[in-house]
Chain A
Amino acid sequence: MIPKFITPKMLIIPIALGGLLTTAVVILVAIFLLRAWFSTPIQIFGFPGPPEQPIAFPHTAHVDIEGINCAFCHRNVTKGDAATILPVEGCLLCHSTVQGENAPPEVAKVIEHYNNNRPIDWKRVHRLPDHVQFSHEPHVRFLTEVQGLELEAACATCHGDVRDMVEVEQVRSLKMGDCVDCHRDNEVLTDNPDITDCTTCHY
């Protein structure tokens, strides 16, 4: 009980301090939780949208109109872990002749990069956390050989219709639930009991 000689007026300051302290703690906890949630690669409330690339590369023009296969520029996608992008020399395979003279400004930038021996600093669109090990090659192999998809459809399984994207953006959450759903669904097809094992991706 509060002793008689303490008037309610004297309690105002301690109560106010206690209130402030509680508020501060609540705010800190909220910040911690929000940061823990949002620092995962993808936000839950929609996707962050396409990043701004140093050169506007329209996949529509290259894939839809020109009909270039995904694996022509992303050469390693059927062979290795990372899909990779061609170096600037690779762009010049076509662009030394195609739209070489009177090049539109974006193609001129590519040629300038080539002439200056400067790589293009593409911004990454899809990013997995460091503790996830992902390799494109087995996934593409499964989708094309076991499920019988065309390469482009196989890529579209996770990356969406890049063919129709002027600016490439992420369409699937690519969080662990997303991965595990697919791995569970295809457990029988792969005939691999380890496909849902933690160490399939985490090591």
Chain B
Amino acid sequence: MAETKKWAMVIDLDRCTGCQACVVACQAENNIPINEEKDFLSRRAKQWIRIDRVWEGTWPNVKARFIPVLCQHCENAPCEPVCPVYATYHNSQGLNVQVYNRCVGTRYCANNCPYQVRFFNFHDPEWPDTFWNQLNPDVTVRSRGIMEKCTFCIQRIRRAERTIEGRDGGKVNDQSLKAGNYMPACVNACPTNTLTFGDINDPNSDVSRRARDPRHYKLLDHIGTSPSVIYLKKVDPNAPEEEAH
């Protein structure tokens, strides 16, 4: 391995249509139980990636803006130091990971998360009987009393590593494990290429190229969490400086 990886995601808000394909894909990939109305009403719905809707302007000139929000995999993650059992920590690839079997369910991490992207299992997950057969075998079904969150689909990263190791003869290198060989479910499902995933330490990767876009910003950057998810501001066709065209 030449240098360590740091997985990151770029979300181009100009392309997001708010179609929720990423939400559904994540739900299916990560064995997330079905969110019913009562779950939303009790604020216990689990959506590892969600589309926040923001209204902009006043009537009649109102615009709906969409922001996909997932675990930001902060370098300075507020959730990590508060965990009494080290169930959440940073691994060498820059992922903020959650070890389900270590978690004792104190919920400190969720309370300390400024992005509200950690979800607690208040009940054992339930699916209709036939749905149990379509669960993803690569992902643990989280039982009652533990915290869960977006993993950047680490099961897919691991599977890609295994496949590439097997094919290329025992070594994962930067050339072989690159974007396109693997991607999280949400990136895979996005119809408009809003989401890009990759290794931001590699200056030639898609994700670092798009992260250099002048529109880039990070969610709640001023609080110093330094997230790994980079947003690109929406281009407003009606913005004053654009009217000159």
Contact = CB atoms under 8 A, between A and B. Distances in A.
A and B pair up: yes
B45 interface: no
B143 to A, nearest CB: 9
A198 B151 CA distance: 13
B131 to A, nearest CB: 16
A141 B170 contact: yes
B166 A198 contact: no
Given A141-B165, A146-B170, A203-B154, A198 B92 contact: no
A130 B99 contact: no
B162 interface: yes
A202 B92 CA distance: 15
B93 interface: yes
A150 interface: no
A133 B154 CA distance: 12
Contacts, number: 58
Interface in A107-143: 129-131, 133, 135, 137-138, 141
Contact of B140 (A191, A194, A203): A203
A137 B171 CA distance: 14
Interface residues of B, number: 26
A192 B100 CA distance: 23
Interface of A: 81, 129-131, 133, 135, 137-138, 141, 145-146, 191-194, 197-200, 202-203
Contacts of B95: 199
B162 A138 contact: yes
Nearest to B30: A203
B170 A198 contact: no
A7 B155 CA distance: 70
Contacts of A146: 170
Nearest to B154: A203
Nearest to B165: A138
Given A141-B165, A141-B166, A146-B170, A202 B100 contact: yes
A138 B158 CA distance: 11
Interface in B132-160: 137-141, 151, 154-155, 158
30 contacts: A129-B101, A131-B100, A131-B140, A133-B140, A133-B155, A133-B158, A137-B166, A138-B165, A138-B166, A141-B166, A141-B170, A145-B170, A146-B170, A191-B171, A193-B1, A194-B91, A194-B92, A197-B91, A198-B91, A198-B97, A199-B95, A199-B97, A199-B154, A200-B158, A202-B99, A202-B100, A202-B101, A203-B139, A203-B155, A203-B158
Nearest to A202: B99
Contacts of B101: 129, 131, 202
A191 B102 CA distance: 26
Contacts of B166: 137-138, 141
Q: Which of A81, A193, A199, A200 has the most CB of B within 10 A?
A: A199
Nearest to B162: A138
